[in-house]
Structure formats: structure tokens, C-alpha cells
A and B are shown apart, each in its own frame.
Chain A
């Protein structure tokens, strides 16, 4: 009977030419996953009554749960498949996005920034900007973040549906509607609490579904040295296994990037901008039960983030060793060969027997759903508290009760999913929208980091300085992007080299827009009147007395674990130099 039901489930998914074909037991594994996530949402509905429950999970999460959720919200399926493909294309260089492109920023968030986010009792990053710089900077940040979040969610949804069509032969409409409606139901029912519970579950599934690939791949390749030897044999002219030694010149590596771009553009601006000010991930940490947990959560997250290359980058490298000859997407379409974008499902199909294959595919679906839940729950919070509430207050000249905002949060979640689905279909009609929206999202990250970090660390920064700095940073980022669009030769000026490629442009554009944001903020602040110290308590370093951790045992102090993480991070970079 179960076999018949799941066979129906398989046929519902569709069939046709695909990389992987699912057995009925694989479909059963996937169906069980959907039952569980919906069940969790239904179960948690009874615990989600107040605004703090719905938008901040009641601020009751332990450091472990907040930390795992923090990483899971970022660990989407496109992230898994995309970086595995990048590892096949660029080699171990792709690991920079997991190590220098994440770890220092996550540790910085935990130790330096989290106390201010947490003590200020803000519900969001725009909420912090409102307290520190006033309504203008907050509204600019909230509107840009809210819109871009749901648009990005839609783009990811469409890209995921395409992946499922290519990998499994599933119908695009089926993938879009089933996955997004499932996310919508469990987030509407249980709010951030439900999103976080499911993200932790999804994080476990991603690991348990993907970890078999490197294990069996290493056995097949004969360990690390065997894999490196095979890669050198397959690609004698390429250098795929060194992290830093090829970054001395733009033309010495396939990414066309210089180490300054990686260190300052990726490692400093883009990474710090994303991990410390993107509310999608920061919201998970704000749900922590106390300040120590809030500081520990990003550090725990950093520990797990550092291990992700094991299930993402290593499969790409193993692919170079055992499945050589995969080509780029354009060539694959023209010749009918497999593309390196399909490396992760190809490796799943290579090593996974029935049941395990279902677990691997469930890991991909879980990755997509955790990313989407992160988007819609963050959108609901920012829209309700940072856009709707100030407008309603101005119109009514009074605040309304908490239950009203919970209701608006639930409706906004539904609205967010509908806009995401609409965006997915829009992208299906006009593929170029995808590039534009992704570029739009990148415009805000670096300047926002400049504004927030000055707000937290420099008490002289004023409201006008914050707003105009953020505005100038965004405008300059858009300007540089347009300049390169109109005149591609401008890339050599922005990225400082005629050999620079697209990847380098993102790094240097972020760097320049951050410098412009910080410069304008400083200049305007020095020309305008700052707030008195008494109004900056809980918001700015130097005006806020942070709770001492002197009475805690060393092993319980966040700074102790941060040092451990940084030592391991340094060791990994040296080992794979």
C-alpha cells in the first residue's frame, strides 16, 4: 500500500529525462520530510501568541539552536549546488567564500556587534538604525531589504525549480507551488519559532544527506593525496588545490582575482556586510534567550560554517578527480553533455543506493526551504515593524495592540510568498530580471555595513550622517554597476586591473561603495550635531556598559571559543595554502 501511494507521489513529480531517477523508497523519504515540517508548524502554532513569539521566537532559543539556525538560513540548496559547481570550475578557491568570506565576520558579529543588537532590544537591523539614526535611515534600509528579500526568494525558487526539473525531471509548477506553500503554511502557523525549528531539522538533514558523498568519494579516490594526484592527471595545466598561492596576480587563477580583492573585498566588506547586517541571518541570533547565548550563537555557527566545505567544496574537487570533462552550461546545452553545475546530483547518483538517494534529494529540498523560510520570516518582521507600524502610528497617532501586529505578520508572510511566486514566474518570462535583482541586492550590503558599524563604534556619528552616508554608498554602488554595463572597459578601473573578471568587480565595487559610505557619514557627521551620550546608551560602544563575563568559567566565555575558531580558521588556510 505504502509502495502504491509513493509510486503515485513519484508519478506526480513527473518523469522524463533526468540525471537521477527515484525509487519508491526515495519518494517515501521525501514525503516523510514534508509531513514532519508541516507537523512541526502545526504543533508550534499553539506556542505563538504574542508579537515576540511570532517575530522573535519568544527570545527563548539556546545558543546551539540559534547558531544552527543562523547557518541553516544561509545554507540554501542553490548555495550547495552552486558552490559545488564553483569548486569543480575554480577548485579549492571556492572555499574562500566559506572561510575568509564568513568566519572573521561571524566572530566579529558575536563578540563586537551582538551586544548592541541584543541590549537595544531591537527586533530587526532597520529597527537598530531607527534607534541609532532615526526614521529616514531605517525606512531606506527597511524598504530596500524587504523588497529585495522577497524578490531574491522568488529568484531562488525559480532556480530551484529549474534544478529539480533538470535533476529529477519534476514539473516546474509543481516544485514552485509545493515547496513554497509548505514553507508558507509552517511559517504562518508558527512564525520565527517554526522557521527556526525547521531550519535546525533541515540543517541536520543537509549534513546527513550530503556527507556520504565525500566519504565514499574519498574511498574511491584513495584519500586526499589520491584525489590530488587524479586531479593533476586529469588537468595537468590547472592548479585546483591551493587556496592562496595562485592569488598573486589576476591572470594566474581561473577566477581572475587578486588576493587584495579576496581579503578586503570579500573577507572584509562583503562578508562583514552580509553576516553582520543582513537581517535574514541576524534575526536568528536575536531570538537567543540571553546575551551570552546571542554572542555564542554566531561563534557556534562559525564552527559549522567552517566545516561546510566538506559537503560542498570537497564533492566538487572529487568530481574533478572521478568525473573529469564536465563543461560549462552553454557548452552543455549545445552538446548535450553534462554541465559542472550538475556535479552534486551527479555525485549523489554515483554513490547513493535507493533510500540514500532520497535522503540526498531531501537535503537539497531542505536547503531550499530553510533559505526561503528565512526570507519570508525576515520580510514579515521588517514589513510589519519597520514599515507598516511607523506609517500606522503616524496615521492613527497611537500604537495598536500586539495581536494586531501578529495578524499583520501572518498576512505579510502569505503576501511575501505570493510575491515570491510571482517573481519566480516573472523570471521565467524575462530571465534577465534575475541578474538585475541579484545586482540590486548587492548594492545595499556594503553601504549598510558602513552605516551600522559607524553607528555602533563611533558615538559622534549623527542621524544625518547615517542617512546620507547610506544613501551615497547605495548610489555610488549603482553608479559603478551602470558604468560597467555601459562601458565594460570600466571594469579595469574599478577592479584595478585589465585582467579582472566579473567576480573581481563585485569585490571592488563593494569596497569602494563602503569607503564612500563611511567617508560621507564621517564628513556629514562632523558638520552636524550629535546626539547626547544619554540617548546612545545600549546603542554605541563607549556609551554602554556591557555585562562582565568575569564570573564565567573560561570554557563558557564566548571569547574563548572565538579564539579557538580563529586558530582553526588560520590553520586551515595554512594547510591548504
Chain B
């Protein structure tokens, strides 16, 4: 196997961020409708999980697309 056949590190990063984006965004949307009443998180009204999860998802998808196998080497 040569370097030319190797997946880019940015593809791995994109994949991980995509998975994290889905998990965090999904969980935060769920919490929006079924809020945890025992939570002590400050400024939870900002719904940071939703926009941070969405940000991870967008960055992840962009990286996966740009560095997908067969398109860019390394």
C-alpha cells in the first residue's frame, strides 16, 4: 500500500465530526422538547448543543466531501 492510496487525515476528522454532530445535535433537539428539569447548566436557554452540534455536522460534512477517498490524496 502506498501513500497515494492512503486516506487523508482530514477525511478521518471529517467523519468523526460528522458523527459527533449528529449525536450532539440530535440529543440537543431531543432536550429541547423533553428538557431535563434537574439540569444546573447556566445559560441553557442559548441551546448551545443545537448550534454547536450543527456546526460540527457542517464542518464534518465539508471535510468528508473535500477529502473523500479518490478525490484528494493526503
> Interface readout for A187-221 with B: 1 if CB under 8 Å, 0 if not?
00000000001001100110010001000100110
Q: Which residue of B lies closest to A354 (CB)?
A: B27
Q: Which residue of B lies closest to A25 (CB)?
A: B27
Which listed residue (B13, B19, B40, B41) contacts A32, Cβ 8 A?
B19
Chain B residue numbers with a CB within 8 Å of A220 are 42-43
Query: What is the bound-complex CA distance between A205 and B20, given in angstroms?
Result: 10
> Interface readout for B46-72 with A: 1 if CB under 8 Å, 0 if not?
101100110010000000000000000
Q: Which residue of B lies closest to A69 (CB)?
A: B9
Task: Contact check, B23 vs A29: say whether CB atoms are below 8 A apart.
Answer: yes
Task: Contact check, A212 vs B9: say whether CB atoms are below 8 A apart.
Answer: no
Chain A residue numbers with a CB within 8 Å of B27 are 25, 353-355
Query: What is the bound-complex CA distance between A33 and B12, given in angstroms?
Result: 11
Which listed residue (B2, B13, B53) contacts A200, Cβ 8 A?
B13
**Interface: A46 (CB within 8 A):** yes
**Interface: A47 (CB within 8 A):** yes
Q: Output the least CB separation between B48 and chain A (Å).
A: 6
Query: What is the bound-complex CA distance between A337 and B27, given in angstroms?
Result: 32
Chain B residue numbers with a CB within 8 Å of A43 are 7
Chain A residue numbers with a CB within 8 Å of B9 are 65, 197, 200-201
Task: Count residues of chain A with CB under 8 A from any CB of chain B.
Answer: 34
Task: Contact check, A355 vs B42: say whether CB atoms are below 8 A apart.
Answer: no
Q: Output the least CB separation between B52 and chain A (Å).
A: 6
- Decide yes or no: A353 and B49 within 8 Å by CB, A46-B1, A47-B6, A208-B56 being known contacts: yes
Query: What is the bound-complex CA distance between A33 and B1, given in angstroms?
Result: 26
Chain B residue numbers with a CB within 8 Å of A32 are 16, 19-20, 23
Task: Contact check, A351 vs B31: say whether CB atoms are below 8 A apart.
Answer: no
**Interface: A356 (CB within 8 A):** yes
Chain B residue numbers with a CB within 8 Å of A25 are 23-24, 27
* Chain A contacts with B in 33-70, Cβ cutoff 8 A: 33, 36, 40, 43-44, 46-47, 58, 60, 62, 65
Task: Contact check, B20 vs A212: say whether CB atoms are below 8 A apart.
Answer: no
Query: What is the bound-complex CA distance between A46 and B3, given in angstroms?
Result: 10
> Interface readout for A1-44 with B: 1 if CB under 8 Å, 0 if not?
00000000000000000000000010011001100100010011
Task: Count residues of chain B with CB under 8 A from any CB of chain A.
Answer: 32
Q: Output the least CB separation between B74 and chain A (Å).
A: 7
Q: Which residue of B lies closest to A219 (CB)?
A: B43
Which listed residue (B3, B13, B24, B42) contacts A356, Cβ 8 A?
B24
Chain A residue numbers with a CB within 8 Å of B12 are 36, 40, 197, 201
Task: Contact check, B17 vs A355: say whether CB atoms are below 8 A apart.
Answer: no
**Interface: B37 (CB within 8 A):** no
Chain A residue numbers with a CB within 8 Å of B42 are 216, 220, 350-351
Query: What is the bound-complex CA distance between A354 and B50, given in angstroms?
Result: 11
Q: Output the least CB separation between B42 and chain A (Å).
A: 5
**Interface: A352 (CB within 8 A):** yes
**Interface: A359 (CB within 8 A):** yes
Task: Contact check, B48 vs A216: say whether CB atoms are below 8 A apart.
Answer: yes
Task: Contact check, A351 vs B43: say whether CB atoms are below 8 A apart.
Answer: yes
Task: Contact check, A216 vs B43: say whether CB atoms are below 8 A apart.
Answer: yes
Chain B residue numbers with a CB within 8 Å of A197 are 9, 12
Query: What is the bound-complex CA distance between A44 and B3, given in angstroms?
Result: 10
Task: Contact check, A353 vs B56: say whether CB atoms are below 8 A apart.
Answer: no
Interface-centre pick from B1, B9, B13, B40 (highest chain A CB count, 10 A): B9
Q: Output the least CB separation between B47 and chain A (Å).
A: 8
Q: Which residue of B lies closest to A53 (CB)?
A: B3
Task: Contact check, A353 vs B16: say whether CB atoms are below 8 A apart.
Answer: no
> Interface readout for A136-164 with B: 1 if CB under 8 Å, 0 if not?
00000000000000000000000000000
Chain B residue numbers with a CB within 8 Å of A204 are 13, 17
Query: What is the bound-complex CA distance between A220 and B13, given in angstroms?
Result: 31
Task: Contact check, A353 vs B20: say whether CB atoms are below 8 A apart.
Answer: no
Q: Output the least CB separation between A547 and chain B (Å).
A: 23
Query: What is the bound-complex CA distance between A200 and B11, given in angstroms?
Result: 12
Q: Which residue of A lies closest to B19 (CB)?
A: A32
The 3 closest A-B pairs by CB, nearest first: A355-B24, A355-B27, A46-B1
Given A204-B13, A356-B28, 18 extra CB contacts under 8 A: A29-B23, A32-B16, A36-B12, A40-B12, A46-B1, A47-B3, A60-B3, A197-B12, A201-B16, A204-B17, A208-B20, A219-B43, A350-B40, A350-B41, A351-B43, A353-B27, A353-B31, A355-B53
A-B contact pairs, 16 of them (CB 8 A): A25-B24, A28-B23, A32-B23, A36-B16, A46-B1, A60-B3, A65-B9, A208-B20, A212-B48, A216-B48, A351-B42, A353-B27, A353-B39, A353-B44, A353-B48, A354-B49
On A, residues with C-beta under 8 Å from B are: 25, 28-29, 32-33, 36, 40, 43-44, 46-47, 58, 60, 62, 65, 197, 200-201, 204-205, 208, 212, 216, 219-220, 349-356, 359
